[in-house]
Amino acid sequence: MVNNGIGDRPIWLTEFGWLRDPAADPWYGDPALGSTYGWCNNTTGTEFDGFKWMRVTEAQQADYLVRAFAYADANWPWMGPMFIWNLDWNNRAGL
């Protein structure tokens, strides 16, 4: 951006975050409540192969987010808005 004369413009971080382990949710594993998070437990046979290792606890997720914002504030003057992304893939049709 600097080479193109637009180095003064902020960059927007539109999707970042960590996968929170759904096991702490009160409806976890209850098919009657429609939210089993089956994709999060599968490591083979779905488009989410291999994502299980990315899960963190609620406390870790909170800590990482606070630290990410603090790091950006301290080290990246060019950083604009930072959007946390945590789509509940379990509610996605077909899974």
Residue-level pLDDT, tens digit, the chain, 95 residues: 889 998 889 999 998 888 877 777 666 666 665 555 555 555 555 555 567 777 888 899 999 999 999 999 999 999 999 999 865 555 555 44
Dig out the tokens for 39 from the structure: 């994709």
The tally of CA atoms less than 13 A away on the side-chain side of residue 32 is 1
Check residue 76 and give its pLDDT. 92
Residue spans of alpha helices (H) in 1-95: 38-41, 58-75
17 and 65 in contact (C-beta within 8 Å)? Answer: yes
3-state secondary structure (DSSP) of residue 91: helix
Q: Distance between CA atoms of 72 and 35, rounded to whole angstroms?
A: 34
Check residue 95 and give its pLDDT. 45
